[in-house]
């Protein structure tokens, strides 16, 4: 990985009084598997499918107890620094499915975290410039979404006469419980200076609000939430610089779990850039789909999936996947933190049945591989490249995304040593979300594996998500040098 000295050391100080910022902010995303040794592809796939399934269940049932897998997932991290004299740098997961930035703070207890990926040498020690968020702050109300500021100040033991005249500035926001897709935590809100040392140009953001967790379940690292909430990183950037916060995009390098390619950096871009001037006229334009509002889960980037095409056959999605109802049920979440795309059971069965109809003839099902990977269907092939149909996703707004073959069909060798006795196997990289008749929330997830090789843009101002094919490693080099 490049060191901070590699980047332009121009520091842009953002303040709430005045700001002039015309450039994008470019950050490197590091794949969580870049430092993990994985010798068995089936074992790796099994751990990732388990993590994707657990995350999907937490999306639908945030308050239900869900068994959290201890094995690593396929996620992306970025580096943030908090405090001063000196600032402390930590790696956090970049997560569009969460609206909170939180970090593990000393002393830190992590439950069910044995063996989990953790690039951080230690938890955060709050600096002398850190200050508790007050009970009357907008951030405190956002963290405690069901309580009014008066209730929060009462919990913080602010006297009644002070509550009545809104003079509780010296009373801090009480601790809060936060459940997200990969776990849960108890934290307090603080403000301090935030810097992004690996960005180009570098950034210092004063009075940044974050969660300081002393205990967490299932996640030792911390999360940089990019969801649709006032505590997310884009939202806090918008308060200071609309040019930076109103749009962000990322381009995940296609890796197919290759040990060398997972080490390549993927660009995360905050703000707008002139793509035609930067990348050339030959680059494809974006296709956009509208964001759907979800009253129950307002921080999700929900979209409508209209259909999936397998070859020339278009399979219509069920109505609940196309829209979100008034109770917050339905739709598909575009999620950077889930690896594999998940579809509701009946629709998934229709999609893989059509795929199997076109591929399964003449090829044996690899049932043992399906059990070992958690993926289905899987087939045995000979040494030739398997012939598989083209898969396209059709979203609301008449936008279609044709997936590269490697985004939905993964081929690898199974068994034997040094090529002897090995069999070539191929698996469909989609997952069954199960019966969605119980509970609520989103019924599908667009995972990061299917997003590889696309620049995915979240246009918060125009309330839309866009997709465009890119060579993501080249995009990183082009923007970083430009």
User: Which residues are part of the catalytic machinery?
Assistant: 95, 335
Q: Is 421 left (phi over 0), alpha (psi -120 to 50) or beta?
A: left
| Alpha-helical regions (H) of 21-97 | 41-60
**How far apart are alpha carbons 20 and 79 in whole angstroms?**
24
**How far apart are alpha carbons 182 and 131 in whole angstroms?**
28
Burial of 48 (0-12, 13-18, 19+ CB in 10 A): buried
**How far apart are alpha carbons 127 and 87 in whole angstroms?**
8
Burial of 365 (0-12, 13-18, 19+ CB in 10 A): middle
Going by their DSSP bridges, the two strands 444-446 and 332-334 should be labelled as: parallel
- DSSP state for residue 261 in the 8-state scheme: G
Residue 37 sits at φ, ψ, to 5 deg, of -85, 125
| Tokens encoding 188 | 């307090």
Cα separations (Å) of 183 from 33, 217, 405? Answer: 20, 5, 32
**How far apart are alpha carbons 92 and 482 in whole angstroms?**
26
**How far apart are alpha carbons 353 and 376 in whole angstroms?**
11
Q: Which residues contact 16 (CB under 8 A, 6 or more apart)?
A: 207, 239, 240
């Amino acid at each position: 990985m490049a060191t901070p000295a590699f980047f332009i050391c121009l520091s842009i100080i953002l303040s709430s009084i005045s700001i002039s910022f015309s450039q994008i902010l470019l950050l490197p995303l590091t794949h969580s598997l870049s430092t993990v040794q994985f010798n068995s592809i089936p074992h790796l796939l099994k751990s990732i499918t388990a993590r994707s399934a657990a995350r999907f269940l937490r999306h639908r049932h945030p308050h239900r107890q869900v068994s959290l897998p201890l094995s690593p997932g396929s996620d992306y991290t970025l580096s943030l620094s908090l405090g001063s004299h000196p600032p402390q740098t930590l790696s956090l997961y970049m997560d569009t499915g969460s609206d909170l930035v939180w970090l593990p703070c000393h002393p830190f207890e992590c439950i069910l975290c044995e063996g989990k990926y953790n690039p951080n040498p230690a938890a955060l020690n709050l600096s002398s410039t850190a200050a508790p968020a007050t009970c009357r702050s907008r951030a405190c109300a956002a963290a405690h979404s069901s309580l009014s500021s008066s209730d929060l100040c009462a919990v913080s033991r602010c006297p009644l006469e002070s509550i009545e005249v809104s003079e509780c500035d010296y009373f801090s926001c009480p601790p809060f419980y936060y459940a997200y897709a990969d776990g849960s935590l108890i934290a307090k809100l603080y403000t301090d200076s935030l810097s992004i040392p690996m960005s180009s140009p570098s950034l210092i953001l004063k009075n940044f609000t974050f969660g300081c967790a002393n205990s967490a379940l299932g996640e030792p690292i911390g999360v940089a939430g990019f969801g649709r909430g006032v505590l997310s990183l884009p939202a806090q950037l918008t308060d200071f610089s609309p040019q930076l916060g109103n749009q962000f995009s990322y381009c995940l390098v296609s890796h197919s779990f290759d040990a060398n390619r997972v080490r390549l950096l993927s660009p995360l871009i905050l703000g707008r850039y002139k793509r035609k001037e930067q990348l050339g006229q030959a680059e494809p334009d974006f296709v956009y789909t509208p964001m759907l509002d979800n009253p129950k889960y307002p921080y999700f980037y929900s979209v409508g999936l209209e259909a999936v095409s397998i070859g020339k056959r278009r399979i219509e999605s069920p109505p609940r996947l196309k829209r979100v109802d008034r109770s917050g049920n339905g739709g598909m979440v575009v999620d950077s933190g889930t690896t594999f795309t998940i579809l509701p059971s009946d629709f998934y069965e229709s999609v893989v049945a059509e795929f199997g109809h076109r591929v399964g003839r003449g090829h044996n099902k690899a049932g043992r591989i399906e059990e070992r990977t958690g993926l289905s269907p899987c087939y045995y092939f000979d040494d030739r490249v398997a012939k598989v149909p083209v898969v396209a996703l059709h979203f609301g707004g008449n936008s279609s995304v044709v997936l590269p073959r490697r985004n939905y069909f993964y081929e690898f060798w199974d068994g034997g040593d040094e090529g002897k006795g090995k069999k070539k196997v191929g698996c469909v990289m989609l997952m069954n979300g199960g019966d969605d008749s119980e509970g609520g929330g989103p019924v599908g997830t667009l995972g990061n594996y299917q997003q590889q090789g696309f620049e995915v843009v979240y246009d918060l101002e125009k309330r839309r998500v866009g997709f465009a094919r890119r060579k993501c490693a080249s995009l990183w080099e082009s923007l970083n040098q430009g």
